[in-house]
């Protein structure tokens, strides 16, 4: 039987960071990455649009042979993943799996000893969904959750204008520090690109949780718990990278993280 791949989907640069961390942790598997860079950011989109974009991305990766897809986009995980899992997969791809990043991050956050007052920065759509608050409260009802939308960060990160993002980031962190948070969860996969600045702003007393440090371990645990999925994934170490638009910043980061030999294939996923 022909082996499949692990798919990683995101709207842009953040998912590429997740892909790098996952591949470093689990290098033997075959991977296909898809960045919907043409339509980034998702944070200001409607729930209907986000679902459509995610469905198109997942379907594309399934057609590439993926048996398991990680939705590295928090906005898509918060607003469309449940519908994909409960309606789309049972009808069209009952033997495939799609996983998000919100539940793993929430689980990790509440396991921290000091996590009694958790701050979250994320896109407007993720904050509006209430997904992080809901998942954290399920696991730790007494934990206080303080969410803050930071919609300008993703466009600045995508445009490689990190210096302009810093004042916005500092204001957001100061606002959450006034809530006496003990933990800060980065609720967007783009934000770890600024995690050094974020940790400097927070100081040593605040535990900063970045998803690129969490998802690889969570994926390994999932594969160990689901050998019926793991045995269907190829182990030749192959990587394919697809994007819906090739930008200069994306190309530069991809070359820096994966080597100059990386090939970005431009594709269309809109139906």
Return the DSSP state at 4. Answer: B
Q: Does residue 233 surpass a pLDDT of 80?
A: yes
**Check: CATH 3.40.50.1860 for 102-211?**
yes
pLDDT in tens, 131-154: 999 999 999 999 999 999 999 999
- Report d(CA 183, CA 208) in Å as an integer: 6
Query: Could you tell me which CATH class the domain 5-100+214-266 is placed in?
Result: alpha beta
Q: Does residue 112 surpass a pLDDT of 90?
A: no
Domains 5-100+214-266 and 102-211 share a fold: yes
Check: CB of residue 243 under 8 Å from CB of residue 34.
Answer: yes
Catalytic residue among 66, 188, 201, 202, which?
188
3 state SS of 136? helix
pLDDT in tens, 205-215: 999 999 999 99
Give the model's pLDDT for residue 1.
59
The residues near 19 (Cβ < 8 Å, ≥ 6 apart) are: 8, 31, 33, 72
Known active-site residue 201: no
Entry pTM: 0.94
pLDDT in tens, 159-182: 889 899 999 999 999 999 999 999
- How far from the centroid of its chain's Cα atoms is residue 66's Cα? 17
Name the average pLDDT for the chain: 95
Q: Where are the domains of the chain?
A: 5-100+214-266, 102-211
Check: CB of residue 57 under 8 Å from CB of residue 33.
Answer: no
- The beta strand positions in the chain, using DSSP E, are 5-10, 31-35, 66-71, 97-99, 117-122, 144-149, 183-186, 207-209, 239-243, 264-266
Known active-site residue 73: yes
pLDDT in tens, 26-66: 999 999 999 999 999 999 999 999 999 999 999 999 999 99
Q: Does residue 194 surpass a pLDDT of 90?
A: yes
């Amino acid at each position: 039987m022909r082996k499949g791949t692990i798919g990683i989907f995101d709207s842009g640069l953040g998912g590429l960071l997740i892909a790098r961390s996952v591949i470093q942790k689990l290098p033997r598997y075959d991977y296909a990455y898809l960045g919907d860079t043409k339509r980034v950011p998702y944070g200001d989109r409607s729930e209907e649009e986000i679902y459509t974009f995610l469905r198109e991305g997942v379907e594309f990766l399934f057609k590439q042979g993926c048996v398991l897809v990680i939705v590295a986009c928090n906005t898509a995980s918060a607003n469309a993943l449940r519908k994909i899992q409960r309606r789309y997969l049972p009808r069209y791809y009952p033997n495939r799996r799609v996983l998000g990043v919100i539940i793993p991050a929430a689980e990790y956050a509440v396991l921290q000893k000091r996590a009694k007052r958790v701050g979250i920065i994320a896109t407007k759509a993720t904050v509006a969904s209430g997904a992080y608050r809901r998942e954290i409260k399920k696991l730790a009802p007494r934990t206080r959750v303080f969410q803050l939308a930071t919609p300008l960060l993703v466009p600045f990160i995508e445009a490689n204008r990190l210096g302009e993002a810093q004042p916005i980031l500092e204001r957001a962190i100061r606002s959450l520090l006034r809530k006496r948070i003990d933990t800060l969860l980065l609720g967007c996969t783009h934000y770890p690109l600024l995690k050094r600045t974020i940790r400097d702003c927070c100081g040593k007393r605040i535990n900063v949780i970045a998803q690129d440090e969490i998802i690889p371990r969570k994926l390994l645990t999932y594969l160990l718990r689901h050998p019926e999925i793991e045995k269907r994934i190829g182990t030749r170490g192959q990587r394919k990278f697809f994007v819906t638009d090739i930008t200069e910043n994306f190309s530069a980061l991809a070359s820096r993280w994966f080597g100059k030999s990386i090939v970005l294939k431009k594709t269309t996923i809109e139906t």
